[in-house]
Structure 1
Amino acid sequence: MYFSRRRSVSQCVLLAEETCRQLRKNMRPLLLGVLGCSLVLAVQGFYSASDDVVELNPSNFNREVIQSDSLWLIEFYAPWCGHCQNLTPDWKKAATALKGIVKVGAIDADQHKSLGGQYGVRGFPTIKIFGANKNKPEDYQGGRSSQAIVEGAMNALRSLVKERLSGKSGGSDYSRQSGGGSKKDVVELTDDNFDKMVLDSGDVWLVEFFAPWCGHCKNLEPEWAAAASAVKEQTKGKVHLGAVDATVHQGLASRYGIRGFPTIKIFRKGEEPEDYQGGRSRSDIIARAMDLFSDNAPPPELLEILSEDILKKTCEDYQLCVIAVLPHILDTGAAGRNGYLEVMMKMAEKYKKKMWGWLWTEAGAQMDLEASLGIGGFGYPAMAAINARKMKFALLRGSFSETGIHEFLRDLSVGRGSTATVGGGALPKINTVEPWDGKDGELPVEDEYDLSDVDLDDDFERDEL
């Protein structure tokens, strides 16, 4: 602002004050806009359009990843997760280094739970490699530095190229026409086979009633096929996806009151069919199918650790195995032990949707296991949860009760809680032991000695001499 030298000092002061007022008035909307943008960016997540990390969500995941020939490294994160926040700069740096070579993506799995559930994400951050078979990604097991991430990506890329050179397609092993799924996994249902396959089955069915001329049905077809393949694998064939051509099998369509296409209904044994109310993407369909599977699945079996095979199979087959070390039977009796086992079975039922493994052993029976988990110093009963893929474990610090165990497992399921490396970096040696017979313990019987033939008086006399 230009000030004339002819103005008095008071005039200059008044003019300056007015100028400041005008500046504040004019700048206020701009400042609010800047603050608003900052708040929006803070809420949106860790990555922006200027980064080389591709932000993924249910609306673009199929197009960007499943139908792509590229190798993808994808981070499933939650905005509140401290480990995820620490990973962000290295993830961005790795994405820039791999630009044009390997795709690097990120999914806010706290917001988009359907995608996280589809790929079995239980903690944050989880990194998966989507390579040759996009429907069966591999867990990334490397370090979290940018250098380690790049090396892991290049190793995966070399493996993919080697597979293609050997004559494999390098893409998904599902049909391209169905967008990453296999039509053979969608069961064709008819007037003749419907009752036997669906109504008389103890399994859960999601059935699509379609018309060949229906545009929405054609759009749903690849999503339905891809979901059918994934659901078949993840539920071990306990949940099925079927399809009925309602223009051919009009008896079925009439029986279930089909008025529009596509219509999806859920069938469970002994219950009236219900309308499917979810989304039409494969991730939505899979998420609903997995919920139905969990609701109808029995609680996981609680196994005593009797051999190395039991520990190895349980911990390697499940993402997490929960292990309790219970007091010796002489310390609790059968009633006390059954009380602890009942608490564990209630927790197994509560967390059955996680599909974890559940094990127990008696204190002192598996000393190498106790040592590898650092259990000895906390007394009994004790509990640990092991991720055998990462060879990490966490210890229950609270009470061995429904409340204490629930808080422990809840924190683990959302990526909280402190973890440590399993001693020796591998599952320990396991002793083969006999199973508990369900009875109270008995003290060992001591041998009785007959002292009638021993002349104690002579011995005492010799001692005195």
Structure 2
Amino acid sequence: MHRLAVFFSLLLGGASALYSSSSEVVDLTPANFQRDVVNSDEVWVVEFYAPWCGHCQRLVPEYQKAAQALKGVVKVGGVNADDHKSLAQQFGINGFPTIKIFGLDKKKPQDYNGQRTAKAIVDFALNVAKEKVNAQLSGKKSGGGGGGSGSGSSGSGSSDVIELTDSNFEKLVLKSDDMWLVEFFAPWCGHCKNLAPQWEIAASDLKGKVKLGALDATVHSVMASRYGVQGYPTIKFFHKGDVEDYDGGRTASDIVAWATDKAAVNIPPPEVKQLISNAVLDETCKEHPICVVAILPHILDCQSKCRNNYIQMLTRLGDKYKQKMWGWGWAEAMAQSDLEQALDIGGFGYPALAALNAKKMQFALLKGSFSEDGINEFLRDISYGRGRTAPVRGAQLPKLVEMEAWDGKDGALPEEEDIDLSDVELDDFDTKTEL
């Protein structure tokens, strides 16, 4: 019945569109595509179809259902590739129906290769929208511009992807102490184009942890040949002379998870820093998702051996949880009283410990034993999102007292000053008391 309806609609209206003007599927043409899709801030799902295509006709009810479900969240459009061949050619359309998602980078739309059901299309579109929101939350701007015939990741402009060449590869990658994920791509490769926006998002999310680069293997063939690149895209991990094939997924979250695991294996244990200034506090807490803050007993109550045992224990725990990329710091009891008050430390004695989320200004306080097992259990709960939290007093990081770092020595009581009374003349006085 549906096929018959489509047939008559084509007879009456010509091979102009599969979707009526009352449909939530927007009719896209060369006249409105640049303005409405490419230059907009909205995420678009776009189907390139041919009215005579049986698969396109069968997709109509599911596609309209997806458009209705995504109304107000993601735009849904259709391009009659028969009528608008130039637009189809611009995006390399070779078969029908072809669905592309225009998300964060409109120059590099993603191909949709999932099931042709409303639910599958909606789920994919929402994932792209979520990735766009997360990228913008981290400061990345949406990219507008021309069509989808560009090459893989270029590293140009404000991109966090670094453009690699035969001439800079050795200096930037091979002689660097940094960890690198390098994509070897070809500009004409469809899979490379699909990977490009995910690679960009991953590069931004991994900034400061793992560097992401891209090398056009069709131009810079020396490095591609050296590392046996035969297909595109090929991704390899480089770190201090070691080279490893990337075997993860092709979404931004897959890339970030794989690289984070690799980084955790290769990075040293985090330094447990003494909190002696606001600069150190900011570095420890603001630059990490969570910072673990320990308040250790005064040096007179716990001498150098005792204090070092605590710091070594915290370092071991930092090594265990280094994959979390947490910050670790300590302060001497009562040396940073504003910090203790902000984290509600003091009522339970010393040593004490809290886990602080500086972005949310929430903290959790260790109520159990200040031991390796006790802290490990506390941190394990934190890593799983369990445990009770409270707001930081003042809703901001406190001001620290600037001080010198501990010199590593035992503490000593201040010496009492000897008073020399030899030069003091005491007046004679009558010891008799008058009654």
1:259, CA displacement in angstroms? 3.8
Q: Which position in structure 1 is the counterpart of 2:255?
A: 285
Aligned pair partner of 1:370 in 310, 315, 340? 340
Distance 1:261 1:447, change over 3 A: closer
Q: Which position in structure 1 is the counterpart of 2:293?
A: 323
* 1:441-452 correspondence to structure 2 within 5 Å: 441-450=411-420
Please give the per-residue CA displacement for 1:418-448, whole angstroms capped at 9, x wherever unaligned.
Answer: 1112233333343223321111111011122
Distance 1:460 1:428, change over 3 A: farther
Q: Which runs of 5+ in 1 are unaligned?
A: 1-66, 72-98, 104-128, 140-169
Q: In the alignment, residue 439 of structure 1 is paired with which amino acid?
A: K
Q: 2:172 matched to 1:200?
A: no
More helix by share: 1
Please give the per-residue CA displacement for 1:138-195, whole angstroms capped at 9, x wherever unaligned.
Answer: 69xxxxxxxxxxxxxxxxxxxxxxxxxxxxxx96147674799765244444444433
The SS at the match of 1:377 is coil
Q: 2:371 matched to 1:401?
A: yes
* 1:4-403 correspondence to structure 2 within 5 Å: 69-70=41-42, 101=72, 134-137=134-137, 172-173=142-143, 177=148, 183-184=155-156, 185=159, 186-213=161-188, 217-228=189-200, 230-232=202-204, 234-236=206-208, 238-245=210-217, 247-271=218-242, 273-403=243-373
Alpha-carbon distance between aligned partners in 1 of 2:430 and 2:373, rounded to the nearest angstrom? 63
Alpha-carbon distance between aligned partners in 1 of 2:272 and 2:305, rounded to the nearest angstrom? 17
Aligned residues of 1:235 and 1:293 also touching (Cα < 8 A): no
Distance 1:134 1:182, change over 3 A: farther
Alpha-carbon distance between aligned partners in 2 of 1:450 and 1:464, rounded to the nearest angstrom? 33
Alpha-carbon distance between aligned partners in 2 of 1:206 and 1:376, rounded to the nearest angstrom? 46
TM-score between the two structures when normalised by the length of structure 1: 0.57
Aligned residues of 2:186 and 2:232 also touching (Cα < 8 A): yes
The SS at the match of 2:303 is helix
Distance 1:453 1:253, change over 3 A: closer
Aligned residues of 1:180 and 1:226 also touching (Cα < 8 A): no
Q: Which position in structure 1 is the counterpart of 2:50?
A: none
Distance 1:317 1:256, change over 3 A: closer
Alpha-carbon distance between aligned partners in 1 of 2:402 and 2:368, rounded to the nearest angstrom? 30
Distance 1:311 1:263, change over 3 A: closer
Alpha-carbon distance between aligned partners in 2 of 1:435 and 1:368, rounded to the nearest angstrom? 18
Alpha-carbon distance between aligned partners in 1 of 2:337 and 2:169, rounded to the nearest angstrom? 55
The SS at the match of 1:412 is helix
Alpha-carbon distance between aligned partners in 1 of 2:395 and 2:252, rounded to the nearest angstrom? 38
The SS at the match of 1:378 is coil
Alpha-carbon distance between aligned partners in 1 of 2:233 and 2:73, rounded to the nearest angstrom? 38
Q: 2:405 matched to 1:435?
A: yes
1:337, CA displacement in angstroms? 0.8
1:451, CA displacement in angstroms? 5.0
The SS at the match of 2:314 is helix
Alpha-carbon distance between aligned partners in 1 of 2:316 and 2:302, rounded to the nearest angstrom? 20
The SS at the match of 2:135 is coil
What is the number of equivalent residue pairs in this alignment?
313
1:355, CA displacement in angstroms? 1.9
Distance 1:267 1:385, change over 3 A: same
Q: Which runs of 5+ in 2 are unaligned?
A: 1-38, 44-69, 75-128
